[in-house]
Structure 1
Amino acid sequence: MERSTEIGEFLRSRRARLRPEDAGLVDYGGRRRVPGLRREELARLAGVSVGYYTRLEQGQSPGASDAVLDAIARVLRLDGDERTHLYTLARPAPGPRRRPAPERLRPTIRIMVESFGDVPALVLGRRVDVLAWNRMGHALLAGHLDFHAPERPADRPNWARLFFLDPHIRALFTDWGKKALDTVADLRVIAGQYPDDRLLAELIGELTMKSAEFSALWSAHPVRRCAHHTREYRHPVVGPLTLTDELLQLPDDEGQRLAIFTAEPDSPSRSALRLLAGLTAEHAERPARDTARQAVGFRPVRRTMPSA
């Protein structure tokens, strides 16, 4: 993912969503070759030359000043996440481009996730791979997958891939379309931060080829960092749920985020989570009981009918 391509796509998408009258220009009618603002209109409103803005849109002005970027953001009516994204794309990090190091989960983070107990929790990596989840996080979101898969780097589930390609995950979300938009918007932010991540580029390419819905959303260039949402779920075991998810940055682990899911106190969703916790605990205890029985040589007693 080249920054020159990314910044061009981003700025063109934001120009396209604005009508001339939205920016205070008089529309004299007639046919416009492109939807939204023209380059020259945006440049004039931002107080820069058309040539300079064109070079910026082509990724050829890495030293754009705060004043220029702020003016462009103002004209395009960018929100906070979009403004940050523009700065990230317009100002590549100095020095040689480096490949991201392999992603590792600190053991203490795994212990923390497990300590949440009956609260569903998981850790997402910088490519939205699931690096760890507790029993409840697994049971809530992906009980059809192997619980131990995140422990094996080659088998780690990827949240974006699951969301767009796994029918179990699609069926879980009542507002799948809204969640799909949020997922792509978050992935756009990540792609801007890690333009040299080959595995991330391969993931985006795979989803673009395999999911028409992902491809359409990606082309629209939504940009928004996920933080918290309240969503409706259709869980296959405990039924409808209304849960709030909080996505928290792990400050000492670049790109890694902790997600936790909670329900309102004394709500049907809280009761459903308790039921799911009980079923999950029972399911987890069965292998342990079987292992213990085998360790002590347990053999089931055969009952015979008494002789006549």
Structure 2
Amino acid sequence: MNSKDQLGRFLRTRRAQLRPADVGLSTFGERRRVPGLRRDELAQLAGVSQSYYTRLEQGLSLNASVEVLDAIARALRLDETEHRHLHDLAGVVRKNGRNRPRRPAPERVSEATRQLIAAFGDTPVIVLGRRSDVLAWNRTGHALFAGHLDPDSPEQPARRPNTARLVFLDPHTRDLYEDWQRKARDAVGKLRLAVGEHPDDPELAELIGQLTMKSREFTSLWSEHRVRAWDIATHRMRHPLVGPMDVAQQAMPVPNEPGQRIVAVTAAAGSSSQAALTLLAQVTAPRTWTAADTDSVSVQ
């Protein structure tokens, strides 16, 4: 994935989404040739020359200073996530003075993270990696998100489920979310952030290529260049075993594992949704054999 191309496209899509009235510019009824702001208008708002901004948007310059990028971000009215994404695309050096690694290391789940998963008990939990691969899940996390898949698949890198791939290509996952469009936008926005952070990840590029080839909906959303990061998201899920439920999916970064996050799913205390999650844990729990069960088997 070419960082120059990604930076230029991001800037163009954001500029096209701003109208002169949004930033206090008057057009005096003139007929405009382009949607949104012109390059010269954006450059003026950011306090840089039009020629410099044009080179940046055309991918001819990737050495913009932090100050210039911050000024452009303010002019484009980027939110915090979009602002960080702009810095990633422009190749800004991290605060610790080190550039990001060229090729990310293989992902694995540490023993400490597995202990944390176990501490959640029956609360549905999954661990996602930088590409939105499922690196681990507990029994109820597997049952909630992908009970139709092999529960051991996250342990095998070549077979790991990927939540973005599931959202766009798996009928079970599509049916799982009442507002599938919002879930799809979230998935694409997270992948956009990953591209900015890991532009040289070949497996990430392969994933995006596959989704582009197989899903028109993904291709359409990908072309918008929107980024999205979330710590908590609410969804109405329609589970085939326990029915509809309103849940909160809360994401937390995994300590000392860059790019990994734990997602835990909860519901309001005392609600029918919480009852549905409890039922899901019960119906998917391993059966415990009792003395009565043993006697029944021996009689037969």
**After superposition, where does 1:84-163 map in structure 2 within 5 Å?**
84-93=84-93, 98-163=102-167
Question: What is the SS of the residue equivalent to 1:285?
Answer: coil
In structure 1, list runs of 5 or more residues that go unmatched.
304-308
Alignment partner of 1:250 is 2:285: no
Aligned counterpart, 2:74: 74
Give structure 2 stretches of 5+ with no counterpart. none
Deviates more, 1:14-23 or 1:162-171: 14-23
The answer to whether the 8 Å contact 1:62/1:92 transfers is no
Give the drift of 1:14: 0.6
Q: Which residue of 2 aligns with 1:229?
A: 233
Q: Which runs of 4+ in 1 moved over 4 A?
A: 92-97, 298-303
Identity value in percent = 55
For the pair 1:182 / 2:186, whether they are aligned, the reply is: yes
Counterpart Cα distance in 1 of 2:118 and 2:273: 21
Letter in 1 for 2:58: Q
- TM-score by length of structure 2 reads 0.92
For the pair 1:259 / 2:263, whether they are aligned, the reply is yes
SS at match of 2:244: strand
Partner of 1:285: 287
Instruction: Tell me the CA shift for residue 98 of structure 1.
Output: 2.1
Q: Deviations over 1:233-257 (max 9, x none)?
A: 1110111111111111113011111
In structure 2, distance between residues paired with 1:101 and 1:27 = 51
**1:203 paired residue number:** 207
Cα offset, 1:181, TM superposition: 0.8
* Counterpart in the other structure of 1:274: 278
Per-residue deviation, 1:205:
0.8
How far residue 182 of structure 1 moved from its aligned partner, in angstroms, is 1.1
- Secondary structure (helix, strand or coil) at the match of 1:25 reads coil
The 2-side partners of 1:49 and 1:88 are apart by 22
Q: Whole-Å Cα distance in 1 between the matches of residues 22 and 282 of structure 2?
A: 55
Report the equivalent of 1:47.
47
Moved more, 199-208 or 42-51: 42-51
Whole-angstrom CA distance in 2 between matches of 1:100 and 1:69: 25
Greater C-alpha Rg? 1
Pick from 207, 214, 221 the counterpart of residue 217 of structure 1.
221
Distance verdict in 2 for CA 1:4–1:104, change over 3 Å:
same
Q: Contact 1:191/1:200 (CA < 8 Å) preserved in 2?
A: yes
- Aligned twin of 2:12: 12
* Alpha-carbon distance in 1 for matches of 2:99, 2:85: 20
| Amino acid in structure 1 at the alignment position of 2:82 | E
**Separation of aligned partners in 1, 2:110 and 2:101:** 26
Distance 2:213 2:148 in 1: 25
Residue 242 of structure 2: aligned partner: 238
Deviates further, 193-202 or 107-116? 107-116
Number of aligned residue pairs: 293
Which amino acid letter does the alignment assign opposite residue 199 of structure 1? E
2:6–2:89: 8 Å Cα contact kept in structure 1? yes
Please list the CA deviations of residues 136-192 of structure 1 after superposition, one character each: whole Å capped at 9, or x if unmatched.
101111111111111111111011001110000000001111111111111111110
Contact 1:121/1:261, CA 8 A, preserved across alignment: yes
